[in-house]
């Protein structure tokens, strides 16, 4: 586990301390040195985690030895031994960050207490170092996967910095996607707990928060499937690459695993998918663009059965399942371009609010599997189909309203009322009243007042007519009524309005 070097020129002392440590900590490796020079040579060779050194030694004493270690990248934790209860030595040791200062003869309990404290610190430091390295590896590996222009020399340097094995015997890349309570780092931690601790497996999260595993052993993925399968509420899928030979080709094999994982969309019951099983699939020869165009043209007509029939032809599972997954991705894009974007371009951007499902249907992988996607696609098509029919009705009603409003604005100076206008456009009085308020947001009387006062404002600004003359010109025979309505809408009298403008 940890390496300990014991340096003391008294043979019995160094062997005695070594024996005590071996009995109490059998997993530790212990080494001995007879003086400071020998200890320095051993430190450079074995790189111990802990150095227990006497202060008084020939050739190079303990304090001088500690000073020699100052410039080392990785310094051992330091424990000083001395037969002299001398505070000067203790002060010197403290300046060099010595962990403890033990007097000879060494007390077994004090030694073990010191080693336990140092061990805890080392474990904590190693854990932080491992966490930092894991974070560093994850960021650099994602950088490699996302950057298309890295040279092989750059890759070699990056893998060296990440301290990643070259995998001389080959490796596999697996990507695990899942649906469950665990996500992100929690999910990755669960995977790391299930992976063998003594193997060369490497795991990290990719840009889509999926777990990526690099392993020299493909059986690791079978092991994970078995472990995941014990939780029947845990949905997961694993895409696995072919065997790779060169770590510099990581991106290629990651893409293989990613491509294999996509097929879970078509085969939701298949939880582990190997790239070698699907790599021979080819795209279908052509897109069913003619059928897609027919669906687009039929929306809003009375041909609902034909729409559904053509949709079944377009979404033929036999054709799709025997083709590369990219065929389905391109088919989805074709439907979006021909049907949905064309439809919303005609109706305007505000209609997107009516069909929020469009945002989801734009990417097939927003759905758990192919059959859910097709159901949602049919649902959206039928919504648009019904909406088209309604819009045709709305456009018809809009023509009536446009005629009514034009008539009001041309004849507001006359004795107008709701009955006169409804008769003019040939609509039922009650129906017209309801439709008019829905269309304009005002009842007929208030709308007529607004139009008449608009005309009055214009005449007050641009002409020299008397106020009582303008009153009659905008449809009010009684000047007092005109003045009251004007003040109600404008907040001031017609005379005050003229003076201000």
Q: How far is CA 400 from CA 197, 412, 436, 437, 449, in A?
A: 77, 18, 10, 13, 21
**Rounded Cα gap, residues 292 and 74, in angstroms:** 67
Alpha helices in 413-492, H assignment, sequence order: 418-424, 429-440, 444-462, 467-473, 479-490
Q: Which residue carries 């990440």 as its tokens?
A: 162
Q: What is this structure's pTM?
A: 0.58
Task: Please give the full DSSP string across 116-139, using - where no structure is assigned.
Answer: HHHHHHHHHHHHHHHHHHHHHHHH
Alpha helices in 97-237, H assignment, sequence order: 108-146, 152-161, 185-194, 219-229
The C-alpha angle 290, 291, 296, rounded to 5 degrees, equals 95
Token pair, residue 184, equals: 């992100």
Q: Which residue carries 């992100």 as its tokens?
A: 184
All residues at 6 or more sequence positions from 325 whose CB lies less than 8 Å from its CB, including other chains? 259, 262, 263, 265, 266, 278, 281
pLDDT by 10s per residue, the chain, length 501: 789 999 999 999 999 999 999 999 998 999 999 998 999 999 989 999 999 998 888 888 888 888 888 878 788 999 988 876 655 666 566 666 788 888 888 899 999 999 999 888 888 877 776 667 777 888 888 888 888 788 888 888 888 888 787 788 899 999 998 877 777 788 888 888 888 776 688 889 888 889 999 998 888 888 888 887 766 656 788 999 999 998 889 999 999 999 999 999 999 888 899 999 998 887 766 889 889 988 888 877 778 888 899 999 999 999 898 899 999 999 999 998 888 876 766 555 545 555 567 778 888 988 889 999 999 888 888 887 877 666 555 556 677 788 888 999 999 988 889 889 888 888 777 777 877 887 777 889 999 999 999 999 999 999 989 989 999 999 998 989 999 999 888 888 999 888 887
Alpha helices in 176-314, H assignment, sequence order: 185-194, 219-229, 250-262, 275-278, 289-298, 304-314
Q: Compute, in degrees rounded to 10, the torsion defined by CA atoms 65, 68, 74, 80.
A: 20
Count Cβ atoms below 10 Å from residue 422 Cβ, excluding itself: 21
């Amino acid at each position: 586990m940890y390496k300990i070097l014991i340096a003391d020129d008294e043979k019995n002392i160094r062997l005695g301390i070594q024996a005590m440590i071996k009995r109490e900590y059998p997993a530790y490796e212990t080494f001995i040195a007879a003086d400071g020079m020998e200890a320095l040579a051993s430190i450079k060779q074995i790189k111990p985690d802990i150095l227990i050194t006497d202060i008084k030694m020939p050739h190079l004493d303990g304090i001088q030895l500690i000073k020699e270690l100052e410039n080392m990248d990785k310094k051992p934790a330091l424990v000083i031994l001395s037969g002299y209860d001398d505070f000067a030595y203790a002060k010197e040791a403290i300046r060099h960050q010595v962990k403890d200062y033990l007097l000879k003869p060494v007390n077994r309990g004090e030694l073990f207490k010191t080693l336990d404290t140092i061990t805890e610190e080392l474990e904590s430091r190693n854990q932080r170092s491992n966490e930092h390295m894991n974070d560093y590896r994850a960021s650099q590996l994602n950088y490699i996967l996302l950057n298309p222009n890295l040279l092989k020399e750059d890759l070699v340097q990056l893998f060296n910095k990440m301290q990643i094995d070259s995998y001389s015997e080959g490796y596999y890349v697996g990507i695990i996607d899942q649906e469950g309570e665990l996500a992100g780092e929690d999910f990755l931690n669960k995977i790391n707990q299930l992976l063998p601790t003594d193997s060369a497996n490497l795991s990290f999260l990719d840009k889509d928060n999926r777990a990526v595993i690099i392993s020299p052993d493909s059986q690791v993925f079978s092991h994970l499937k078995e472990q995941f399968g014990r939780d029947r509420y845990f949905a997961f899928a694993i895409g696995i690459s072919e065997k790779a030979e060169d770590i510099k080709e990581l991106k290629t094999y990651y893409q293989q695993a990613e491509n294999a994982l996509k097929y879970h969309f078509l085969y939701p019951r298949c939880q582990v998918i190997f790239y070698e099983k699907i790599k021979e699939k080819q795209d279908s020869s052509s897109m069913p663009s003619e059928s897609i165009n027919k669906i687009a043209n039929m929306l809003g007509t009375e041909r609902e059965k034909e729409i559904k029939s053509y949709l079944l032809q377009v979404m033929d599972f036999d054709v799709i399942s025997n083709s590369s997954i990219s065929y389905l991705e391109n088919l989805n894009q074709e439907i979006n371009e021909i049907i949905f974007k064309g439809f919303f371009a005609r109706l305007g951007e505000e209609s997107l609010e009516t069909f929020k499902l469009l945002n989801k249907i734009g990417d097939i992988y927003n759905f758990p599997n192919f059959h859910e996607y097709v159901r949602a696609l049919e649902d959206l098509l039928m919504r648009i189909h019904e909406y088209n029919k309604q819009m045709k009705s709305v456009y018809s009603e809009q023509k009536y309203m446009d005629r009514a409003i034009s008539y009001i604005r041309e004849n507001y100076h006359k004795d107008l009322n709701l009955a006169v206008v409804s008769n003019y456009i040939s609509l039922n009085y009650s129906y017209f009243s309801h439709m008019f308020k829905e269309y304009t947001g005002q009842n007929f009387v208030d709308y007529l007042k607004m139009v008449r006062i608009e005309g009055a404002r214009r005449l007050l600004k641009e002409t020299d007519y008397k106020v009582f003359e303008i009153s009659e010109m905008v449809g009010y025979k009684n000047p007092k009524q005109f003045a009251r309505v004007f003040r109600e809408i404008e907040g001031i009298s017609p005379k005050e309005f003229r003076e201000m403008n």
